[in-house]
Amino acid sequence: MSSWRAATLFFFLIALLSFEFVSPWMNFNSYVSKKRTDLKKRCPNVRAIRNFDLESMMGFWYVVQYYASTEELPEYACMQSDFTFSAEDQHITMNFSYIFAEDPLREKLQGNITWYIPDFETPAHWMHTEDIYEGIYNTYVIDTDYKSWSLVMHCAEKKKSPRYLSALLLSREPQLGDNVINFLREKLPRYDIDLSFMFPINQTCHNLMESVNDDPLAYILNEEKAEEESTNKVKLILKT
């Protein structure tokens, strides 16, 4: 009888310890198994910010939070963007860079997006100039104070899959106050955005690996780049 009681107590303790360790993990990762409610077919009706000053919006921004309807886990770090406007062709270009958060090499990746303004009466509504995207890809500046923060949203409808919807919470500095972040996040649920899938982006971006002279196999640490350029010595790291 004592052996049976000892065995019962042992299995009870194992179950209790398992719950203690697993339960916090499940709470932290609850968004993994959560059923998404934001996979709609149609893009929402969006009203871009009024009295928008396009020139003041241009320049460098940190992406401090990011949402995409196709992603269920935080994937990025060091996401940054630089907006420019060309008076010659009336196009807006965003050059951006980022790393994958789990990349042990911290390889810096880069890209760009170009828009045109379909109606200069509403300059906070942009449309992609690229034709590689399925459907009409609209971008809206939802709100901004130009000098500190901005909220941008993109949406495109697709024929055989749910819409693609994304949102960028931008800051002129690497960090933004919680009160401002909450103020901007509260603007998104009206567009059927599930905030549990809007993830913060770490902006601690030291020792990133950058390509050298467009060579995809040669990399240099960005912390050493300025010093090495001044001495005309470049330390190459071959990617294997």
Nearest CA among 50, 102, 59, 112 for reference residue 78: 102
CA dist., res. 205 & res. 196, Å (int): 25
User: Which residues in the chain land under pLDDT 50?
Assistant: 1, 4, 6-31, 33, 226-227, 229-240
Residue 85, amino acid: F
Tokens of 214: 């467009």
Q: How many CA atoms lie within 13 A of 34 on its CB side?
A: 18
**What are the E-state strand segments in the chain?**
59-68, 76-86, 91-100, 109-116, 125-128, 137-144, 149-156, 164-171, 198-200, 209-212, 215-221, 237-238
Taking only the tens place, the pLDDT of each residue in 38-60 is 566 688 889 899 999 999 999 99
With vertex at residue 47, the alpha carbon angle to CA 41 and CA 50, rounded to the nearest 5 degrees, is: 160
C-alpha triplet 148, 153, 157: angle, nearest 5°: 170
Sheet holding 209-212: strands in order across? Answer: 209-212, 215-221, 237-238
Tens of pLDDT, residue by residue over 189-236, are 999 899 999 999 999 988 888 765 555 555 556 655 544 544 443 343
